[in-house]
Amino acid sequence: MSISKNIQNFLLSDAVERFLRYVKIWTTSDIKSASFPSTENQLELGKLLSNELEDLGLENVVHDKFGYVYANLPPSKGFENVSQIGFIAHLDTSQAVSGKDVKPVIHKNYDGNEILFSQNEDISLSIADSPQLGEYIGLDIITSQGDTLLGADNKAGVAEIMAACAGWKKFPELKHGPITICFTPDEEIGRGTRKIKKKLLPKFCYTLDGSEMGQLAIECFDAWGATIKFKGLNVHPGTAKNLMINAIHIASRYLSELPEAESPEHTEEREGFYHLMNLEGNEEEATATLILRDFESKNNQNRMNYLENLKKLYELRYPGLKIEANFLHQYQNMLTFLETEQKAIDLAKKAIELTDLEVKTHSIRGGTDGTKLSEKGIPTPNIFAGGMLVHSRKEYIPTLALQKASEVILNLAELWTI
Ligand SMILES: [Zn+2]
């Protein structure tokens, strides 16, 4: 089983053409917005995609008022009984950098030198910024003009899924079972699955939202939020001796006892951390907000025990002080839900290998739509989409990644029929 040169060429030109079109549509999401989707512009891309899915012969195409797009591809003849699978990508782009008026530029046959940006002389893109760029010498690289992000996160995923649909229509010899396509709004602000209709999705899905070519992620952080409230006692500072319990000052001492090595700025790969995000208050009362992250849930339990023990110690050290520690589980390492889905993961690995890429299993130092979906009972590992240095004006993608990810989708669908 392999994809012919003819189909590969089609996927490359189709996915690139779509990608260049989709990135020009402004779909930045907005965490401050209370509406759903958070920005109207996301509806514009969703509408376009639902029309294109209908033109490509997909059925039951839905573009709902929340901005979600759902569509079904009927199975090829003889594969009606194959399990249904889904492919998911998100419509929005990050607020970190402007996503308005993106003008993509193709740098043909990349020569290994610095890439310069016509609309921003202050930045350049080099192998020092992204070592993978060294592996992409000779390929065509797409960037923005340096004044916006590119939007490969996640319009690369959208274009790859759409190119696969175009491939299934044009080359009926490609075998597949029933397939569901879903595009989600507001992933970047953590709301991507909030209004998703589970009943429109199959029992198993894949997101196309990873970065480097070859990547497959089946693991993400186990995530906790912690709120620690210090209740002290304020007295006039001139007569405070043996009376004042200065909540904010004690809080800062308490927080200085967290191991410095376990912070985001000192950890990478599989190392977890405490991250203090906010400290506010006064002598009477102070509140610290933290997040705890690790791939092993027992390490996060140990961090919570440490915070609890420190609380007891500080209440002894400062009689009259009261500390309340509250912990909230935010999301779970999706590996917990994927461990029993070895077949689906093996098929994804095989589909990547069939495109002549090395499989790079990857642990996401964060969460994705797939994390939340896995918790909701739909196991959803994450496949590469190809965008690099995402959420940045230096964001780039090799055109080959757009082709390869589309190939992975076609391979994966065929592998499920065997
Ligand atoms: Zn993304």
pTM of model > 0.85: yes
- What is the distance, to the nearest Å, from the Cα of residue 167 to the centroid of all Cα atoms in its chain? 26
pLDDT of residue 39: 97
**pLDDT band per the 50, 70, 90 thresholds, residue 321:** very high
pLDDT of residue 43: 98
pLDDT digits over 96-111, tens only? 899 999 999 999 999 9
Question: How many Å lie between the centroid of ligand 1 and the Cα of residue 171?
Answer: 29
Question: How many Å lie between the centroid of ligand 1 and the Cα of residue 247?
Answer: 40
pLDDT of residue 413: 98
Helix (H, G, I), strand (E, B) or coil at 260: coil
Question: How many Å lie between the centroid of ligand 1 and the Cα of residue 373?
Answer: 15
Question: How many Å lie between the centroid of ligand 1 and the Cα of residue 364?
Answer: 11
Reply yes or no: is the peptide bond before residue 300 cis, omega within 30 of 0: no
pLDDT of residue 322: 98
pLDDT of residue 381: 94
Helix (H, G, I), strand (E, B) or coil at 224: strand
Which residue is catalytic, options 92, 262, 407, 414?
A: 92
Question: How many Å lie between the centroid of ligand 1 and the Cα of residue 182?
Answer: 14
Question: How many Å lie between the centroid of ligand 1 and the Cα of residue 274?
Answer: 24
User: Is 92 designated active site?
Assistant: yes
**pLDDT band per the 50, 70, 90 thresholds, residue 2:** confident
Which residue from 178, 182, 208 is spatially nearest to 197, judged by alpha carbons?
A: 182
pLDDT digits over 363-416, tens only? 888 888 888 999 999 999 999 999 999 999 999 999 999 999 999 999 999 999
Question: How many Å lie between the centroid of ligand 1 and the Cα of residue 63?
Answer: 20
Share of the chain above pLDDT 70, in %: 100
Which residue is catalytic, options 153, 187, 188, 222?
A: 187
Share of the chain above pLDDT 90, in %: 93
Question: How many Å lie between the centroid of ligand 1 and the Cα of residue 357?
Answer: 21
Which residue from 94, 77, 85, 79 is spatially nearest to 38, judged by alpha carbons?
A: 94
pLDDT of residue 339: 86
User: Is 187 designated active site?
Assistant: yes
pLDDT digits over 120-170, tens only? 999 999 999 999 999 999 999 999 999 999 999 999 999 999 999 999 999
pLDDT digits over 214-250, tens only? 999 999 999 999 999 999 999 999 999 999 999 999 9
pLDDT of residue 118: 96
| Residues contacting residue 293 through CB under 8 Å, at least 6 positions apart | 221, 222, 223, 224, 272, 273, 275, 300, 365
pLDDT digits over 33-76, tens only? 999 999 999 999 999 999 999 999 999 999 999 999 999 999 99
Question: How many Å lie between the centroid of ligand 1 and the Cα of residue 186?
Answer: 10
